[in-house]
Structure 1
């Protein structure tokens, strides 16, 4: 499949700390890539480079085969790149439908067109298979899985074609995680959205992803289709990396 997103030779430094070095990564439309790695491996930094929050010190980013220099998060969004963060998905005090149109509100003159936004939110969530019985309820009253589903739906509704999900399953029970896994599977079946998921649960990553890549000490060290690996292999790779870093640590 054609690459929706390609990262080539990306490096990022913060003073004396090298967070990313010569990172190469790609994902196609209709493909789900699982990005794995221990804490501090550089996963969040890489996501922030791709979404325009950080500028890389070296390397390049291509969207649909065209090199882009991302000036900001808003610039990345204008190119169809959007990120859903696990802890910053929704505004708790706002209703579901107000969250769906956050910073993109429909208005009649100076007034919010609440009736239109409520109807469109209901239609879009229904089309995506997200079960929210009442879109007027405050986001704070939803489960973690429902909140994440709404945040993903908002990004897709706003024309995101490269979707970055930062730990979408963190601290979720099996029932809540199923909501997100089913939604990702539905988006994958549409074939027009490229998805990168940062995940810690290898079994869940293998369940929903087409490929998995491991980021270790700022480098991609493993990139393979999920059909060609296993939870045991991924665990062994991560344990070996951890032990190697322990042996190399001073003292």
Structure 2
């Protein structure tokens, strides 16, 4: 395992040496409060980078920087090897970076196809420019099938779907609208074992299709199942940076749980 400063410049699984997204020494401060400090992260095509951390570790701040909601106060954000400064989430989207947030931002009572095109509806040509419902329904079905998602009825309210199905629809939507990098914010946090498995399968499917995935999670088991590289945040600092081959699930879980601190606590609380 390598420390943050010693991480080698590895080629992405797709064979290219230039990552889709790279952070170099990125930090974010809010006045005197340091939310992130010296974060280094790489996401290649066909690669899942798991970003782990407990509540308050800095995961949300990291998402906001990559998604264009906030600007970093130090360091560089590179897209395809070129330093960028996003002015808004639209800039991130224009560069193929799409974020699927935990709350999904769906309208529960609207049908699946309507949510798929929410805010980017297709309209018919002509004076009235009415919604092209047939085209949107057909496109939704087609795009979901491409991701291996088979819904019985895209006219059903999206609120009637399981949590895993809603996550998968959101992923397929992001892919359709031009994403090359998917940022998934705790997609399995509120799901059971079966539904989590569904989401993890679609994360793997996205990786196999050549997308770069940033998988934000506090679950080391889920991260280790699909991840190629792991970054662990702790109070805004990068505590761990290693590849799948460099760390076992047991060690990743131990580091996530606090490592030496947890062992010391165990000894302290042990019955005499």
What TM bracket, shorter-length normalisation?
over 0.9
Residues 1:211 and 2:229 aligned together: yes
Q: Separation in 1 of the partners of 2:37 and 2:134?
A: 49
| Aligned pair partner of 1:58 in 71, 74, 98 | 74
Who is 2:150 aligned against?
131
Q: Separation in 1 of the partners of 2:137 and 2:55?
A: 39
**Pairwise mapping of residues 191-210 of structure 1 onto structure 2 (< 5 A)?**
191=210, 193-210=211-228
Q: SS state of the match for residue 121, structure 2?
A: coil
Q: Separation in 1 of the partners of 2:32 and 2:110?
A: 42
Alignment check: 8 A CA contact 1:216 1:241 kept = no
Q: Mark the runs of 5 or more structure 1 residues left unpaired by the alignment.
A: none
Alignment check: 8 A CA contact 1:89 1:151 kept = no
Alignment check: 8 A CA contact 1:162 1:194 kept = yes
TM-score calculated relative to the size of structure 2: 0.86
Q: Separation in 1 of the partners of 2:130 and 2:192?
A: 40
Structure number with bigger Rg: 2
Q: Flag the 1:35–1:101 CA change in 2: closer, same or farther, 3 A.
A: same
Cα shift at 1:89: 3.9
Q: SS state of the match for residue 12, structure 1?
A: strand
Who is 2:93 aligned against?
77
Q: SS state of the match for residue 38, structure 1?
A: coil
Structure with the higher fraction of residues in strand conformation: 1
Q: SS state of the match for residue 86, structure 1?
A: coil
Who is 1:228 aligned against?
246
Paired residue total: 245
Q: Separation in 1 of the partners of 2:226 and 2:156?
A: 30
Q: Separation in 2 of the partners of 1:98 and 1:238?
A: 39
Residues 1:141 and 2:160 aligned together: yes
Q: SS state of the match for residue 52, structure 1?
A: coil
Q: Flag the 1:241–1:54 CA change in 2: closer, same or farther, 3 A.
A: farther
Q: Mark the runs of 5 or more structure 2 residues left unpaired by the alignment.
A: 1-11, 13-17, 266-272
